[in-house]
Structure formats: C-alpha cells, structure tokens
Amino acid sequence: MQEIIDGVLKFQRDAFPQRSDLFKRLATSQSPSTLFIACSDSRVVPELLTQREPGELFVIRNAGNIVPAYGTQAGGVSASVEYAVAGLNVTDIVVCGHSDCGAMTAVATCKCLDHMPAVKGWLHHADAAKAVNEAREHASEHARVDSMVRENVIAQLANIKTHPSVALALEQGRLNLHGWVYDIETGAIDTLDGNTNRFVSLAARPGASATPARRELIAA
C-alpha cells in the first residue's frame, strides 16, 4: 500500500501540475468520445493502451469485459452503458478482451467455480460464447482459450445491442461498435471486422469496425 501512497504523492507533485489546465477544465464537465469496456485484469490499462488523457475515455471494467443483455441484470454495467450513450453521447464503444484472461480460461476449461458463486453466476453472461466455442475443434488448450476470448467479445457486442440507448444510437447512425482483443505479451491488437465477422490486425486495418457498413433503404 505504501507504494500506492507514494504514487499518489508523486502524481500530486509531478504529474498534476503538468496537466493543471486540463484538470481545471475537467473539474465541472466531461465529454469523452468513447466508452471502453475492458476486463478488470490488472495487466489491462485502457488509458495506457490507447494513450488517452483523463476525460477522453469513459471506462467500464469487470471480470471478463462482460455486458449483460438488457433487462437480464439491472446494475452498474447497464446504467453506465446508458449514461455513456444517452447522457454523454459517445460516438464509439470498444469491447476489449485480452490474452490469458482468467475469466475466459475458467469458462473455456469448465473450471469449477463453486467456491466463487458470484463469479460463477456472472460468467453465465458468456454462455452464448461458450456454446459456440465448444462446438469447434481446437488444436490445443491455448487455442481453446484464445478462441473463447474472441467469441466472448462477439457475444458481448451482441448483448450491448439489446440496450435501448445503443439500439437507437446505432439506428440513427451516430454510434460505432468495436471489438478488440489485446495481446499482453506483444502489445498487438486484433479488431473485429463487422463485414466479415473475423478478427484482423488493427495495425493493418485501423479503419475496421464491428459495425457492418450500413445498407441504406431504397425507396420502392
């Protein structure tokens, strides 16, 4: 704990003065452009990963970067999604999974979680991803978990579309969805291409989005 306190004191002494004007502006308002939904894993730091300053990301973090479908579980995730989209008018939502995810490893390997009933119940929100992943052949245990991480990102993107605020924003064309998988060891990120439903390198395809290209209705 002392290291954390020392860090706070260093922030107040060194980092805060360098950004005093920024914090003065942020003292009374915020206007982040992006809702970033990530795992609570200590190795995943959204602001570091994206090189964003305070005020630029609205962040939700939980075990497994999960978004319960609307109405299945009233709670902080649903409220935060609604506030970000309907209150802050974010233009982008990123659901970011990551390598070596403990939550997805537990789901993919059917690890017994009876001693953690709250975790066990929470991870049922990844059941759709689990069903898809179990129906596939995997070359190794590592490949099974890696695939589960990706399927979970796809499943949570499907869940978030059930939220009324998100559905409306998507229909109005003012919101884009992004599905990322971050590799802790290499720093690489794969992003979901909504047109093919396949993950591609973000570095190679920075414009790819999980939101398929809109097909405008043609009047008869």
Q: Give catalytic residue positions.
A: 39, 41, 43, 98, 101
**Taking Cα atoms as reference points, which of 38, 34, 82 lies closest to residue 57?**
34
190: tokens are: 């794969």
CA distance 156 to 161: 9
User: Do the beta carbons of residue 147 and residue 133 sit within 8 Å?
Assistant: yes
Q: What angle do CA 70, 107, 61 make, to 5 degrees?
A: 50
The alpha carbon of 198 is separated from its chain's Cα centroid by a whole number of angstroms, namely 17
Token digits for 166? Answer: 């998100």
Rounded distance between C-alpha atoms, residue 76 and residue 40, angstroms? 14
Please tell me the distance from the alpha carbon of residue 140 to that of residue 126, in angstroms, as a whole number.
21
Instruction: Write the CA distances from 49 to 58, 98, 126, 180, 195, integer angstroms.
Output: 14, 12, 24, 12, 25
| Nearest residue to 85 (alpha-carbon basis) of 164, 24, 26 | 164
